[in-house]
Structure 1
C-alpha cells in the first residue's frame, strides 16, 4: 500500500459500508477488524437508513425495478430513472456488505409479492434484460433464493462476439456492449464468490475475454476509444461502464482465481492512474440523474471516497503483481 496518511485517514473517516472495505483492501487489517466494521452496516449509516425504507412486503418503493405507479403518472417525465425500487436497493445493500441474515425473510417475500414490470414475470426468475438479470442472479445467491433459471439464462444469451447486450432481446442489436457485458460478468462473479459454484465460470471468462480483446477501452473494429464514458468515473455507477469499474471487476476475479493481472489491462490502468489527483484521490464525475433515497457520495468535481477506494485498491493490486 502506498497512500498519503492524510488521505488514508480521510478514507477511514467514513460510513461503515465504505470503511470496512478500506480496512480490508487498503490497510490490510486482520479479518476480525474489518468484519466488526462490516457488521455495523446493518445498524449504522447508509445500510441502516436503506433498511428502514423496506416495505412490509419485502420490496422498496413498492416495485421491482421502478417505484409502484411509475408508469401510471407523470413520473416518467422526471430526469433519469428512479434508483429507489427493490432491485437497486438490494444491489446497494449487497455492495455495501450487509449480512444477508439481516434480510432473512426477504427472498420469500419477494417470491410472493414482487413481479417484474416487464411481462409481470416472477422476481427470482428474472426477465429479458441482461443487466437486470445480472443483479438478480447475484442478489438471489446472496439471499439464498432459487436462481436456477438465471444460471441457465446467461450462457444461452451470449452473443456471437462473446458478450451481452441489453438491447439484443428486442432485436435491436447483435453486437455486445461494454456496459451490458461488464454487468453480466460482475453478476456471475458475485454468484461464484457467494456460492462457490463454478458453473458459470466459462461464460464469465467469455465475457471477460470480450472486454480484454478491446483492452477495456477500444473498439474492435477501428481501435478507437469507445466513448467518453470509459474515463467518466462516478459513484454510484449503477449500470454504467467505466475503466475503473471494469478494473475493479478484474481485480476481484484475479483474487478469486489466484491469477495474475492480464497484460491487456495496462492501458486502462494508465488511464486510471492519470486521473488520480496529487493527493491520491479521484474526483466524482457527473452523478446519474434520478431519484435516490439519500446521497451516498459527494457532488461532481469533489474528491470521492468511494472512487478513491476503488482506484487505490486497483493500482495497489496491479503494482504489487508487476513488482
Structure 2
C-alpha cells in the first residue's frame, strides 16, 4: 500500500506521469488513466515536444545530434554531455510518456525521406552501428509503423560471445556492457511484444538477460564487486544509463509480458532500490546526465523525484507480489 499523501503528490503531475500513477499506483479503472494518457498530446510535456517538431519530421534538425552541434567545440568535450534535443531522444521521450502513435502519423515517412544518421549519413530507419541507437530506433519504428526489419537482424548478428552487446564494438570491444546490453534488450522486448519475435531474436534476448542476471544486475562476473559507483545512483530521464532500478524495470516489464515470476538473482538489486527510499516515502534524484534539453521534466539532484518514485514503487510492488 502506498500512503495517501505520497499518492496525492504523485498525481499532482504532468499527464505524461499522472496517467501511469493512476494505472500503477492508484489502480484506477482504464477509463480514468486512458483519458489522462490522451491528454499527453494536448497538454504539458508531450504537447510542448510535439510543437517543436520540424516540418521535415525531425527535431532540432538532426537524427541523434542537433543540426547546430559542433563536434569539435566545447559541447563535444568530455563531460559536457550529449545534447538530448534531436529526433531520437525526443521520440524516446514521447514513447516513454505514452503518446498515442497516431498523433505522429506521417512522421515515419518524413524521417525516411529526410533524416540520416550523423555516422556515414546512413538512412534513419536502417539503423546505425551503435546498439543503443539501434535499440531506440527499433522501438520507435515499431510504434510508428516503419520498416525496421534490418535492425532486428542486426541485433542477432552483432551479439557478442559473452551474451550481450557493446556500443563500442565498432571500435574493437569484444566484451559486453551493462548499459548497452540493457538498452538492446529493451528494443528486443518491444519487438517481441509487437510481433512475437523470431527464434533467433528470442535466443539473443535470453542471452542478454542471462548476461545481466548472472551479474545480479550490477556485479562484475570476474570479481563479484559492483561494476561501478553508478549502480545505485538513480536518475530520470534515464536516457542510456544502466542502474539497478532501470534494469529491474526492464525485467518487470518482461515478466508482465510473459506471465513469469521475478528471477531470484535480482534480490540484492531490489534491496538496493528499497534502501534508497526516503523516510517519508519518495526516492531522490541522485544524479543527472549533463547536456542540452528542451526543458526540464523532473526534480534537480538531491530533491524528491516523482518519476523515480513511480518506477521504484512499480518495481517493488511487482517483486513483493511474487
- Aligned-partner Cα distance in 2 for 1:230–1:61: 32
Counterpart for residue 181 of structure 2: 181
Counterpart for residue 113 of structure 1: 114
Shift of 1:72: 6.4
- Aligned-partner Cα distance in 1 for 2:75–2:312: 35
- Aligned-partner Cα distance in 2 for 1:209–1:70: 38
2:70 match: secondary structure: helix
Consecutive aligned runs of 4 or more in structure 1 exceeding 4 Å deviation: none
- Aligned-partner Cα distance in 2 for 1:32–1:191: 27
- Aligned-partner Cα distance in 2 for 1:77–1:311: 33
- Aligned-partner Cα distance in 2 for 1:196–1:117: 29
- Would you say 1:49 and 2:55 are equivalent positions? no
Cα deviation digits, residues 101-131 of structure 1 (max 9, x gap): 0000000000000000001000000010000
CA contact (8 A) 1:61 1:67 kept: yes
- Aligned-partner Cα distance in 2 for 1:259–1:123: 35
- Would you say 1:21 and 2:23 are equivalent positions? no
CA contact (8 A) 2:15 2:39 kept: yes
CA contact (8 A) 2:65 2:86 kept: yes
Counterpart for residue 151 of structure 1: 152
CA contact (8 A) 1:4 1:279 kept: no
Shift of 1:77: 4.3
Cα deviation digits, residues 249-272 of structure 1 (max 9, x gap): 000000000000000010000100
Q: Relative to 1, partners in 2 of residues 1:202 and 1:98: Cα closer, same or farther, differing over 3 Å?
A: same
Shift of 1:309: 0.2
Q: CA RMSD in A?
A: 1.1
Counterpart for residue 190 of structure 2: 190
**Relative contact order (alpha carbons < 8 A, sep ≥ 6): 1 or 2 greater?**
1
Counterpart for residue 32 of structure 1: 31
Shift of 1:43: 0.3
- Would you say 1:234 and 2:239 are equivalent positions? no
1:49 match: secondary structure: helix
- Aligned-partner Cα distance in 1 for 2:92–2:267: 29
CA contact (8 A) 1:217 1:226 kept: yes
TM-score normalised by L of structure 1: 0.96
CA contact (8 A) 2:138 2:148 kept: yes
Instruction: Kindly tell me the number of residue pairs found equivalent between the two proteins.
Output: 318
Counterpart for residue 291 of structure 2: 290
TM-score normalised by L of structure 2: 0.97
CA contact (8 A) 2:46 2:94 kept: yes
CA contact (8 A) 2:104 2:144 kept: yes
CA contact (8 A) 1:163 1:207 kept: yes
Counterpart for residue 219 of structure 2: 218
CA contact (8 A) 1:244 1:310 kept: yes
- Aligned-partner Cα distance in 1 for 2:88–2:134: 10
Is the deviation greater in 48-57 or in 77-86? 77-86
> Which residues of structure 1 form unaligned runs of 5+?
none
CA contact (8 A) 1:229 1:242 kept: yes
CA contact (8 A) 2:62 2:86 kept: yes
Q: Relative to 1, partners in 2 of residues 1:245 and 1:72: Cα closer, same or farther, differing over 3 Å?
A: closer
Shift of 1:73: 6.8
The 5 Å alignment of 1:1-323 reads 2-71=1-70, 74=73, 76-77=75-76, 79-171=80-172, 173-193=173-193, 195-199=194-198, 200-321=201-322
Q: Relative to 1, partners in 2 of residues 1:284 and 1:98: Cα closer, same or farther, differing over 3 Å?
A: same
Q: Relative to 1, partners in 2 of residues 1:44 and 1:116: Cα closer, same or farther, differing over 3 Å?
A: same
1:70 match: secondary structure: coil
CA contact (8 A) 2:76 2:82 kept: no
> Which residues of structure 2 form unaligned runs of 5+?
none
Shift of 1:279: 1.5
